Amino acid sequence: MNKTLRILALLLAALTLTLCLASCGNGNKNNSGSYVFKAPGGTEIAIGARHDDVIPKLGNYNSVNITDSCGGFSGKDRIYYYNGFRVYTTPSERGDVVNKIELTDDSVSTPEGLTIGSTKDAVTKAMGNGTAVGDNLSYEKGNMKLVFIFRDGTVTNIQYFEK
């Protein structure tokens, strides 16, 4: 592997670790004025929404991964896998809350119409310039971040999470 590829691999690994750690937020902030994901079927999901107000409305999930919480509250972190997206929940002082949403394929989109496979030009046209983190773009609104991860100028992953 040449030096450039090693550097790119290290940057991608650092970004992935940062995003994973950010998903362990405490979920206790007000999310008014934040980004909202609209799931197939119309259910709107915001970071900080109560688990019991979201997960039952989404219908059957494909699978769930349950681990001990890393967010400082006793309980379990959960990742619910649906077609095209994942919903991460964690315990908080308000009970279990959504702390991350991840779009994984082009069957779902952001409210702005962006999907996995969208070009960087389409993202900046819909969202503005954002903050560059390597080749990726990050947008902040309220207490949330919306991150578009790119490979070769094309979106490969979209993540909503708490700042």
Per-residue pLDDT of the chain (163 residues; tens, 9 = 90+): 555 545 444 444 444 434 443 444 433 333 347 789 999 999 999 999 999 999 999 999 999 999 998 777 889 999 999 999 999 999 999 899 999 999 999 999 999 999 999 999 999 999 999 999 898 999 999 888 999 999 999 999 999 998 8
The two three-digit tokens of residue 162, written as one number? 């708490």
Range of the domain at 35: 3-162
Number of domains comprising the chain: 1
Alpha carbons 151 and 163: distance in angstroms, whole number: 23
Alpha carbons 58 and 60: distance in angstroms, whole number: 7
Task: Give the CATH number of the domain where residue 66 resides.
Answer: 2.60.460
Give the DSSP letter string of 89-140.
Answer: EEEETTEEEEEEEEE-STTS--TTS--TT-BHHHHHHHH-S-EEETTEEEEE
Whole-structure pTM value: 0.79
DSSP-derived 3-state class of residue 87: strand
Q: Answer for the pair 155, 104: CB distance below 8 angstroms, yes or no.
A: no
DSSP-derived 3-state class of residue 67: strand
User: Among candidates 42, 96, 93, which has minimal Cα distance to 64?
Assistant: 96
